[in-house]
Amino acid sequence: MIPRADANGPPAQPAAPASDLPVLAAVDTPAAPGDEALWIDVIHKMDAVYADLVSSQSALEERTERLQEAHDFIGSVLGAMTDVLVVCAAGLQVQQVNAAMLRLVGGDATDWIGGPVSALFDAGDRATVTALIEAVRRGRPVAPREVRLAGAEPGLGLVSIDCAPRQDANGRLAGFVIVGRPIGELQRAYRARDAANRKLQHTQQQLLVAEKMAALGRLVAGVAHELNNPISFVFGNMYALRRYGQALTTYLAALDGGTSEAERAELRRSLKIDRILADIGPLVDGTLEGAERVRDIVQDLRQFSASREEAPDRFDVVRLVVTAANWVAKTRRTPPDLRFDLPPVLEVVGRKGALHQIVVNLVQNAADAIGGRSDGRIVVAAHAAADRAIITVADNGPGIAAEIRDKIFEPFFTTKPVGSGTGLGLYLSYNLAAKLGGTLTADTPASGGACFRLTLPMDARDG
Ligand SMILES: Nc1ncnc2c1ncn2[C@@H]1O[C@H](COP(=O)(O)OP(=O)(O)OP(=O)(O)O)[C@@H](O)[C@H]1O
Ligand SMILES: [Mg+2]
């Protein structure tokens, strides 16, 4: 600091300069009184100039520091960006590129700065980039474009770019800022996801087919069992009728052959003609009944297999529920204790095949739930409530644990060992119930076990 002049005395001797700033050299010759005032004035002025210089220097230093901070901040932001960024002058020379861009196009910023902005892009897309910039220059609205970057690895260099004008402090066009979002990775991820989706759908289709085949298998086993009874019945009767026919033919031939009364009586007794005559009626009736049963089963089967295109039809829920439940019960190695709590008839108008499939699935699950338990029991009930038919299938198995209660209707959810269940039974049943205009819900009654409740409209044509 320059020594200050005291208002009442001569100026103090200036000390050695602290900096390179010019200072007035000390003079040791005595000064005239007029000269002294001049000196004081000069020293004051110099002091003021020096103070100004010092304060502008510190302001400059402060500003430089702030500038550096701002520069570092912008640098760190640009460096952290995952989108690519190019700043170019109005003449389209590159002024700035960020790290994300350099990672994709390679090289240092200095390799690109000063060069044409189009060089950053694939030769095939340069015209697109230039057209985009020119549109922005003319103030036209532009939409992002997908372009490839120069020399980027295959699958990595695709970016969706957008461009905005950059103005100087006077509001004049100073250049352009291009920002691009790399979409090569994104596209690859999308493609991988699509492929995984397609694979999943394919697998689900296969599982659905497998489930349908398993259902068909169960159905065929049930039908075979069901048909076996009446057919063996018909066979047995037909063999008996053939024997009866032979006996009657022999007897009639004896009658025609002029045999004696005694011989005829003996023949009648030995051929059991009277028993045959009494038996023929019931035998034919029984055979007819067996044949009718076969016809009914085939009809049931037809309706089941046609369930997809089946039109709503009037049918008896009770009869259908009993048939479906029995089919399942009879195919089990240990037939479950199956009980019914049903009205004599419960007619509804709906799709018989779909209902059959639901009941089969529910009874199948109930039979699985009670397993080989000696006291295992399944109760199938139905009743009408206003415009709905309610069908319940309850069992006294372990019930449905709280943590899986909201999952059991999901496709492929199963707690059964691999190969024993596909987890599609309830999912399909739930959707079939919805298609029938009804609902399917699961309950765990306080008394234990599980109870599935199916509601159906009394007349599906109303819905
Ligand atoms: N009556 C029931 N008691 C206890 N749990 C049941 C009952 N019914 C269904 N569940 C549970 O719901 C799960 C899903 O049943 P769903 O019928 O959808 O599939 P699944 O029986 O396992 O296989 P599938 O496709 O062969 O029917 C079962 O694995 C079981 O855990
Ligand atoms: Mg099941």
Question: What confidence tens digit (pLDDT) does each residue in 385-440 have?
Answer: 989 999 999 999 999 999 999 899 988 788 988 767 778 889 889 988 998 999 99
List 5's β-bridge partners, or say none: 11
pLDDT in tens, 69-120: 988 898 888 888 889 999 999 999 999 999 999 988 999 999 999 999 999 9
Task: Name the residue with higher pLDDT: 240 or 311.
Answer: 240
- At residue 366, the 3 state secondary structure works out as helix
For residue 7, the model assigns a pLDDT of 42
Per DSSP, what are the bridge partners of residue 394? Answer: 379, 451
Nearest CA owner, ligand 1 atom 5: 400
Residue-by-residue DSSP string for 349-414: EE-HHHHHHHHHHHHHHHHHHHTT-TT-EEEEEEEEETTEEEEEEEE-SS---GGGTTTTTSTT--
| Residue whose C-alpha is closest to residue 329's, from 384, 376, 289 | 376
Burial (CB < 10 A; 0-12, 13-18, 19+), residue 444, is middle
Mutate which of 408, 412, 418, 452 to test ligand 1's pocket (most atoms within 8 Å of Cβ)?
408
**CA-proximal residue: ligand 1, atom 28 (nearest):** 414
- How distant, in Å, are the alpha carbons of 61, 246, 272, 290, 442 from that of 287? 116, 18, 21, 5, 43
Q: DSSP class of residue 461?
A: G
* Mean pLDDT over each residue of the chain, to the nearest integer: 85
Q: CA 28, 33, 35, 40: dihedral to nearest 10 degrees?
A: 80
What is the whole-number distance in angstroms between the Cα of residue 334 and the centre of ligand 1? 19
Among all chains, which residue has been given the structure tokens 């018909």? 234
β-strand pairing of 439-443 with 313-316: unpaired
The answer, as to whether pTM is greater than 0.95, is no
Asked whether residue 37 carries a pLDDT value surpassing 90, the answer given is no
pLDDT at residue number 152: 73
Alpha-carbon separation of residue 85 from 160, 165, 174, 177 (angstroms): 11, 13, 16, 7
Q: Measure CA of the first residue to CA of the last residue in the chain; give whole Å.
A: 100
pLDDT recorded at residue 213: 78
The verdict on the CB of residue 397 being under 6 Å from ligand 1 is: yes
CA dihedral (369, 371, 373, 374) positive or negative: positive
- What's the pLDDT at 301? 67
Taking only Cα atoms into account, the Rg of the chain, rounded to an integer number of angstroms, comes to 50
Mutational test site, ligand 1, from 359, 406, 414, max ligand atoms within 8 Å of CB: 414
- Checking if the pLDDT of 16 tops 50, the result is no
What are the structure tokens assigned to 412, written together?
């492929």
pLDDT at 3 over 50: no
| Burial 6-29, CB ≥16 within 10 A → b, else e | eeeeebeeeeeeeeeeebeeeeee
Q: Is the CB of 416 under 6 A from ligand 1?
A: yes
State if residue 457 touches ligand 1 by the CB under 6 angstroms criterion: no
Rounded to the nearest 10 degrees, how much is the dihedral formed by the CA atoms of 378, 384, 390, 395? -10
| CA-wise closest residue to 89 among 179, 175, 178 | 175
Least confident range of 6-10, 107-111, 134-138, 182-186 = 6-10
Q: Closest-lying ligand to the alpha carbon of 419? A: 1
C-alpha 64/C-alpha 124 separation (Å) is 44
C-alpha dihedral, 26 to 31 to 36 to 40, nearest 10°: 0
At which residue do the structure tokens 């800022």 appear?
Answer: 177
Distance CA 33, CA 27 (A): 15
At 238 the pLDDT is 93
Which residue from 303, 242, 251 is spatially nearest to 273, judged by alpha carbons?
A: 251
Question: Does residue 449's CB lie within 6 angstroms of at least one atom of ligand 1?
Answer: no
Q: Is 312 in the pocket of ligand 1 (CB under 6 A)?
A: no
- Residue 341 is encoded by which pair of tokens? 């709590």
Read off the DSSP letter of residue 348. E
The pLDDT-based confidence of 365 (bands split at 50, 70, 90) is: very high
Helix or strand holding residue 4 (H, E): none
Which tens digits make up the pLDDT trace of 111-136? 999 999 999 999 999 999 999 999 99
Q: How far apart are CA 86 and CA 176, in angstroms?
A: 8
Q: What does the block give as tokens for 300? A: 């049931």
Q: Tell me if 389 CB under 6 Å of ligand 1.
A: no
